[in-house]
């Protein structure tokens, strides 16, 4: 799918790193869904189950000082980038030890220490802000890069057009990463976009654009390497359209009745997490025991984070007056 | 008092931008046509900046208001003091998501981890026959957004001092330049010092009626002062200068003294900022009022083109005088 020449291939170490990030995303997602089901979390949840390869491969090439702007379906991007899970869980539970003291919640997690600068609940709004972070890197004469994550639905909002044009014009070190999971909320890609791909739009902005198999670690590795290297070298932005599928529908509890019969089942058979795990074993990169121990270690981290988050106190109502402005609002 | 220079408010903006950029290399200015290659701004407010400070820090942009404010937010999150220009206030509507949902809210929604110290400069106002999509006073919209300050200066010294304070402020500010005040000359300190946001200016003291105004409406209220004096009415004119946060203490102390109040603004009267001020006065000073608070503002229609209609749309000095006389009757 990726029309790239001399595309680098992930070595064993890179594949294990990508798998570990994917597994951390999936185990965390699984814990969030089961905790919601038990009634111990009340939150709108937009699972990215099935899309794990994309942020895992992208984050493999990111440094701590690189920035990301992501969207309401974005916890996978943060986990892949390295956000600690304890404040993440406290935030989605609306507790004072959360990344945002419980004032942002699951759609607005922010953690500048790990480069998670903005998580937006407005479709498309990650892109204009990512440009500004990229401009700042340019002004600082730093080679740090910025990732703007957004969905296929967001490619049809005006912010996409304005942002890609400006990023190309100013050679900004931004990679526009679009997991195209086939649906904008409940509307299929075919029912919202006449163009066959989103990647073709990049040409209109004078930037490279690639459609890659977002569930294929090799393709994603090559695409991420190329786009991030280009941004880091000061050569400008890239649009990556990463084809994938969301296993849990739009929002937690979605009955997915708008999907064609058998569509979900067909995709579930090709679960990228299961496939990569099998590959690591088949190619002799990892043993069953190693992967089980990796899973146990991650499960323990997630369980500890969940317990920490749920035990954290709720914020004081005084928080309503704090952080509106730098100066606290009068009581 | 340091030495002053005579200039109009547009020149005062330009002077303040030069001073702010020279003092802090984190200050960046950008927007449509703002660099010297494109003329230094549609009004010339940013003239000379790109020549003095380079096109890295002073950039002309495509006509892309969302992208402009988004870039300002991102740069601010990374430590810059961004001063984007949205040519006209009506064009802020194209960037409302970036302003209202993001710039104003990120500090709160991130629990104070991030902040957005940007100053959005914009121009508006009736009087230039530009009609309904180039002249609206929308300060009430932004004052209704928690997390962004709204500054509406009326004279050159205030433009300079308030702009400097806005740029230095740790939070987002909408800085509204008004057509009816931009070219009136006045004295500006040679070295500008910031004027604190949220502090009103008592233009003239009086004992019969308090008049609250801002932007070009302050100029029109000043023009009414002589006629009021001739009618034997002692008016206290307060230039609010900042709409959000607004200086409640100064306004309430004045109305407590006079017992009467007129709030005059160019924005449409219905649901305008005057309603918030009048309601606050009613809540705080109900038993001390000698007359109901009166609001003067634009009629409920778009800013019209024809000169006669545009003149009728604007609250004129004669309207202020007539209202004050009615309150005294």
pLDDT (0 to 100) of residue B1 = 58
Exposure string (b/e) for A145-178, b if CB count within 10 Å is 16 or more?
Answer: bbbbbbbbbbbebebbbbbbbbbbbbebbbbbbb
Beta carbon pairs, A and B, within 8 Å: 149
* pLDDT of residue B86 exceeding 90: yes
Exposure string (b/e) for B42-57, b if CB count within 10 Å is 16 or more?
Answer: bbebbbebbeebeeeb
> Reduced to 3 DSSP states, what percent helix, strand and coil does chain B have, rounded to the nearest 5?
40, 20, 35
pLDDT (0 to 100) of residue A303 = 98
Contacts of B204 (CB under 8 A, 6+ apart): B222, B225, B235, B236, B237
How many angstroms separate the most distant Cα atoms in chain B?
61
Average pLDDT over residues B178-186: 98
Catalytic sites of B, residue numbers: 65, 134
Helix (H, G, I), strand (E, B) or coil at B183: coil
Q: Whats the size of chain A, residue-wise?
A: 331
Contacts of B108 in chain A (CB under 8 A): 103, 323-324
**To the nearest whole angstrom, how far is the Cα of A163 from the nearest Cα of chain B?**
6
Closest CA to A304 of A90, A37, A112: A90
Q: Are B127 and B310 in contact (CB under 8 A)?
A: yes
Q: CA of A96: which chain B residue's CA is closest?
A: B111
**To the nearest whole angstrom, how far is the Cα of B307 from the nearest Cα of chain A?**
36
- Other beta carbons less than 10 A from residue B146's beta carbon: 14
Query: Which stretches of chain B are assigned E, i.e. beta strand?
Result: 4-7, 27-31, 58-60, 81-88, 119-124, 149-151, 173-178, 186-189, 201-204, 209-213, 235-239, 242-244, 261-268, 294-298
Cβ burial of A301 (10 Å; 0-12, 13-18, 19+) is middle
The shortest CB-CB distance from A162 to any of B67, B106, B108 is to B67
Q: Are A2 and A210 in contact (CB under 8 A)?
A: yes
Q: What's the gap between Cα B74 and its chain centre?
A: 25
Contacts of B80 in chain A (CB under 8 A): 136, 139
Closest CA to B173 of B160, B161, B159, B163: B163
B90 DSSP assignment? G
Please report the ipTM that was assigned to this predicted complex: 0.96
Q: Are B151 and B243 in contact (CB under 8 A)?
A: yes
Interface test with B, best of A325, A326, A327 (most B CBs within 10 A): A325
pLDDT (0 to 100) of residue B110 = 98
Contacts of B171 in chain A (CB under 8 A): 325-326
Q: Are B164 and B193 in contact (CB under 8 A)?
A: yes
Angle between helices B9-23 and B156-168 (to 10 degrees): 30
Q: Are A88 and A78 in contact (CB under 8 A)?
A: yes
Cβ burial of B174 (10 Å; 0-12, 13-18, 19+) is buried
Closest CA to A32 of A16, A43, A17: A43
- pLDDT tens track for B218-277: 999 999 999 999 999 999 999 999 999 999 999 999 999 999 999 999 999 999 999 999
* Averaged pLDDT, groups of 10, chain A, 331 residues long: 70 98 98 97 95 98 98 97 98 98 97 98 97 98 98 96 98 98 92 94 98 98 98 98 95 90 94 98 98 98 98 97 96 89
Q: CA of A142: which chain B residue's CA is closest?
A: B78
pLDDT (0 to 100) of residue A2 = 47
Cis peptide before B194 (omega within 30 of 0): no
The pTM is what? 0.97
Exposure string (b/e) for B99-113, b if CB count within 10 Å is 16 or more?
Answer: bbbbbbbbbbbbbbb
Contacts of A321 in chain B (CB under 8 A): none
**Inter-chain touch A131–B112, beta carbons under 8 Å:** no
The shortest CB-CB distance from A125 to any of B64, B97, B108 is to B97
Bridging pattern class, strands B235-239 and B294-298: unpaired
**Inter-chain touch A98–B111, beta carbons under 8 Å:** yes
Q: Which of residues 139-168 of B touch A (CB under 8 A)?
A: 146-147, 149
Q: What does the alpha-carbon distance between residue B81 and residue A306 come to, in Å, rounded to a whole number? A: 38
Contacts of A271 (CB under 8 A, 6+ apart): A50, A247
- Using a CB–CB cutoff of 8 Å, tell me whether B197 touches chain A: no
Q: Are A246 and A181 in contact (CB under 8 A)?
A: yes
Structural Rg of chain A based on CA atoms: 19
CA-to-CA separations, A169 to A258, A284, B49, in angstroms, rounded:
39, 46, 21
Query: pLDDT tier at B2 (50, 70, 90 boundaries)?
Result: confident
The shortest CB-CB distance from A132 to any of B64, B75, B146 is to B75
* pLDDT of residue B117 exceeding 90: yes
pLDDT (0 to 100) of residue A1 = 45
**Residue B50 forms beta bridges with which residues?**
none
Cβ burial of A285 (10 Å; 0-12, 13-18, 19+) is middle
pLDDT (0 to 100) of residue A5 = 60
- pLDDT tens track for B36-73: 999 999 999 999 999 999 999 999 999 999 999 999 99
* pLDDT of residue B11 exceeding 80: yes
């Amino acid at each position: 799918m990726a029309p790239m020449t001399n595309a680098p291939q992930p070595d064993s170490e890179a594949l294990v790193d990508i798998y570990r990030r994917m597994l951390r995303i999936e185990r965390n997602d699984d814990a969030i869904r089961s905790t919601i089901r038990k009634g111990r979390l009340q939150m709108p949840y937009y699972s990215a189950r099935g899309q794990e390869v994309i942020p895992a491969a992208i984050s493999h090439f990111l440094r701590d000082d690189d920035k990301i702007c992501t969207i309401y379906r974005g916890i996978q991007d943060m986990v892949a980038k390295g956000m600690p899970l304890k404040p993440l869980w406290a935030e989605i539970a609306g507790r004072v030890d959360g990344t945002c003291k419980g004032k942002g919640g699951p759609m607005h997690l922010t953690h500048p220490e790990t480069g998670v600068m903005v998580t937006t609940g407005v479709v498309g709004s990650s892109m204009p802000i990512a440009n500004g972070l990229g401009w700042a890197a340019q002004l600082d004469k730093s080679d740090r890069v910025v990732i703007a994550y957004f969905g296929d639905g967001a490619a049809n909002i005006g912010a996409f057009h304005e942002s890609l044009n400006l990023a190309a014009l100013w050679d900004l070190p931004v990679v526009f990463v679009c997991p195209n999971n086939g649906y904008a909320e409940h509307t299929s890609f075919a029912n919202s976009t006449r163009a066959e791909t989103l990647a073709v739009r990049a040409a209109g902005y004078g930037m490279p654009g690639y459609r890659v198999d977002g569930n294929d670690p090799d393709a994603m590795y090559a695409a991420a390497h190329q786009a991030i290297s280009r941004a880091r070298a000061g050569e400008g932005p890239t649009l990556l359209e990463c084809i994938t599928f969301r296993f849990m529908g739009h929002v937690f509890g979605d009955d997915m009745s708008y999907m064609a019969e058998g569509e979900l089942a067909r995709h579930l058979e090709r679960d990228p997490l299961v496939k990569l795990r099998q590959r690591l074993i088949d190619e002799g990169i990892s043993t069953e025991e190693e992967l089980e121990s990796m899973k146990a270690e991650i499960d323990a981290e997630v369980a500890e984070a969940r317990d920490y988050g749920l035990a954290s106190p709720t914020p004081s109502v005084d928080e309503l007056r704090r952080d509106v402005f730098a100066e606290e609002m009068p009581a | 008092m340091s030495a002053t220079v005579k200039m109009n408010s547009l020149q005062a903006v330009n002077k303040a931008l030069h001073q702010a950029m020279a003092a802090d290399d984190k200050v960046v200015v950008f927007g449509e046509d703002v660099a010297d290659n494109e003329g230094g701004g549609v009004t010339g407010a940013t003239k000379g900046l790109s020549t003095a400070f380079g096109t890295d820090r002073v950039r002309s942009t495509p006509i892309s208001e969302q992208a402009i404010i988004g870039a300002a937010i991102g740069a601010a999150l990374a430590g810059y003091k961004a001063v984007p220009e949205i040519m006209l206030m009506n064009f802020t509507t194209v960037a409302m998501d970036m302003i209202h949902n993001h710039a104003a809210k990120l500090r709160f929604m991130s629990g104070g981890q991030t902040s957005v110290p940007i100053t959005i400069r914009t121009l508006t106002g009736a009087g230039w026959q530009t009609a309904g999509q180039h002249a609206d006073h929308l300060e009430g919209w932004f004052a209704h957004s928690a997390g962004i300050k709204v500054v509406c200066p009326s004279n050159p010294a205030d433009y300079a001092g308030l702009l400097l304070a806005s740029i230095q402020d740790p939070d987002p500010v909408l800085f509204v330049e008004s057509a009816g005040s931009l070219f009136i000359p006045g004295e500006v300190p040679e070295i500008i010092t910031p004027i604190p946001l949220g502090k009103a200016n008592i233009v003239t003291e009086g004992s019969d009626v308090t008049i609250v105004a801002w932007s070009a409406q302050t100029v029109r209220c000043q023009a009414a002062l002589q006629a009021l004096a001739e009618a034997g009415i002692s008016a206290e004119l307060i230039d609010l200068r900042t709409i959000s946060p607004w200086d409640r203490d100064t306004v309430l102390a004045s109305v407590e003294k006079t017992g009467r109040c007129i709030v005059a603004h160019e924005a449409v009267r219905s649901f305008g900022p005057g309603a918030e001020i009048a309601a606050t006065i009613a809540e705080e000073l109900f038993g001390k009022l000698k007359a109901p608070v009166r609001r003067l503002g634009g009629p409920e229609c778009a800013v019209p083109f024809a000169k006669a209609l545009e003149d009728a749309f604007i609250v004129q000095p004669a309207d202020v005088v007539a209202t004050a006389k009615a309150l005294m009757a």
